[in-house]
A = this chain, B = another copy of it.
Amino acid sequence: MQTRESLQQQFETRCRELGLAVTHQRTVIYRELIATGEHPTPEAVYERVKAQIPAISLGTVYKNVKTFLDAGLLKEVSLHHGTLRLDANTEPHHHMVCTRCRRIFDVPEAEFEPVRLKNLPESGFQIDRYSIEVVGVCGACAAARPESSGLGPASAAHTNQVL
C-alpha cells in the first residue's frame, strides 16, 4: 500500500537529514509510535516493539525516544514529568512554564477569557476543569541567553535550577 511505503520513506529521508542511521530498531520504534493514537510511556512502546524484535532492550527504546525528541519527530506531553511539583495555591488558576529553567508562575483565571470546548466530547468524558499552560521562556532565562531558536529540552546547567 502506498501510504505505508511513503511513511517509511519519509522516515528514512528524515534520518538522513539528521545524520541518523536507519536501523531496524529505530524503524520499528518509530512505526509503533506513529501507529498508536495514544500517548504511551517508553515502557509501553517497548512492549509493542518487543513483540516484533524480541531481543530489543529497553535502553534502546529510551535512547531512540530521546533521539526522536531532540529531532522534533516526537513531543513530550508534559514539561514536568521528572519530579513532583507542588502548588500551595488551591484556588483555580493557570500557569506559565519556562522551558529552560522549568520554573512555574501563577496566572490568575481572570487573565483569560473563559475556555470551553465548542463541542462536548462524544466519548462521555466528564469535564472537571480547564487548565491553561503558557509555555515559553521566562525573563531571567531570556536575558541569560537571548538567541536560541525555541523550545528544546532544558539544557544549560546553570539555568536548570528548580524552585
List residues of chain A with CB under 8 Å of any chain B CB: 33-34, 36-45, 65, 69, 72-90, 95-96, 98-99, 103-107, 110-113, 115-119, 121, 123-139, 142-143, 150-151, 162-163
Contact = CB atoms under 8 A, between A and B. Distances in A.
Contact of A134 (B76, B118, B125, B136): B125
Nearest to A151: B128
A79 B78 CA distance: 9
Considering residues A72, A87, A105, A142, which has the most beta carbons from chain B within 10 angstroms of its beta carbon?
A87
Contacts of A107: 117
Given A115-B115, A118-B112, A131-B133, A86 B81 contact: no
